[in-house]
């Protein structure tokens, strides 16, 4: 990929072909396009912003090394997400969670102190409830709730039957409703 300076954005398949030939700039463009979603998926998996960014970087490094095995019939984004989920699980195994509540992102950081505190507390409870879910169940929930992937896409990405996607979602949501009962009913 040698002509990305101006004009329309290059097609993703062209970028992937160029990256497979060793074009680092083309791969950089792919990273720019997908880093936001990838960091989000990893963050929802592990609940730690620092760990999420680190694991997302690891995921993109792994993806670069595995480009020869990428199957173009599937969306590149979904393939990277799959690698990112594995990277997140590895990161969690290596580093037990110790999140400072002050590090958690907030919507209303300039609001009243009570509201800020409530929001921070709620975010922490959601994060804890997510962490309690089994990793593979959490992965399905994250892809559905935060990345809006269809059951079919999740099944293809994680190489599981659609029935398993449905049962994991059902289990995850029921568990979360129990863990977060106070918030779900109070809203």
Binding status of residue 128 toward another protein by CB under 8 A: no
Closest CA to 117 of 100, 102, 97: 102
- Contact status, residue 34 vs residue 136, Cβ threshold 8 Å: no
Per CB under 8 A, does 132 bind another protein?
A: no
Which two tokens mark 113?
A: 């102190």
Q: Minimum distance from CB of 130 to another protein (Å)?
A: 8
* 32: contact with another protein by CB under 8 A: yes
Span of 65-73, 77-85, 87-95, 131-139 interacting with another protein by CB under 8 A: 65-73
Per CB under 8 A, the list member of 92, 138, 144, 155 interacting with another protein is 144
Q: Which of 122, 123, 130, 88 is nearest to 104 (CA)?
A: 123
| CA atoms within 13 Å, Cβ hemisphere of 121 | 8
91 binds another protein (CB under 8 A): no
Residue 39 is a binding residue for another protein (CB under 8 A): yes
Minimum CB separation of residue 89 from another protein in Å reads: 18
* C-beta atoms surrounding 59 within 10 Å: 27
**Quick one: which segment of 6-14, 19-27, 78-86, 94-102 binds another protein (CB under 8 A)?**
19-27
Q: How far apart are CA 77 and CA 52, in angstroms?
A: 17
What's the CA gap between 177 and 141, in Å, rounded? Answer: 13
Rounded Cα distance, 80 and 56, in Å = 9
Interacting residues with another protein (CB under 8 A):
2, 19-25, 27-29, 31-32, 35-36, 39-40, 43-44, 49-50, 52-53, 56-57, 60-61, 64-69, 105-107, 122-123, 126-127, 144-146, 150-151, 166, 169-170, 173, 176-177, 180, 183-185, 187
């Amino acid at each position: 990929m040698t002509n990305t300076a101006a004009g329309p954005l290059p097609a993703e398949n062209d970028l992937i072909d160029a990256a497979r030939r060793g074009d680092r700039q083309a791969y950089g463009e792919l990273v720019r396009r997908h880093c936001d979603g990838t960091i989000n998926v990893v963050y929802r998996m592990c609940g730690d912003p620092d760990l999420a960014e680190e694991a997302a970087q690891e995921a993109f490094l792994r993806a670069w090394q595995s480009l020869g095995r990428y199957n173009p019939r599937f969306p590149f984004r979904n393939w990277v997400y799959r690698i990112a989920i594995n990277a997140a699980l590895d990161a969690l195994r290596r580093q037990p969670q110790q999140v400072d509540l002050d590090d958690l992102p907030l919507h209303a950081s300039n609001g009243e102190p009570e509201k800020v505190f409530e929001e921070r507390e709620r975010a922490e409870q959601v994060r804890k409830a997510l962490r309690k879910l089994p990793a593979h169940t959490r992965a399905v929930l994250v892809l559905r709730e935060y990345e809006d992937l269809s059951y079919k896409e999740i099944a293809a990405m994680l190489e599981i039957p659609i029935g398993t996607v449905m049962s994991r979602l059902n289990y995850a949501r029921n568990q979360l409703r129990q863990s977060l009962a106070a918030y779900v009913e109070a809203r």
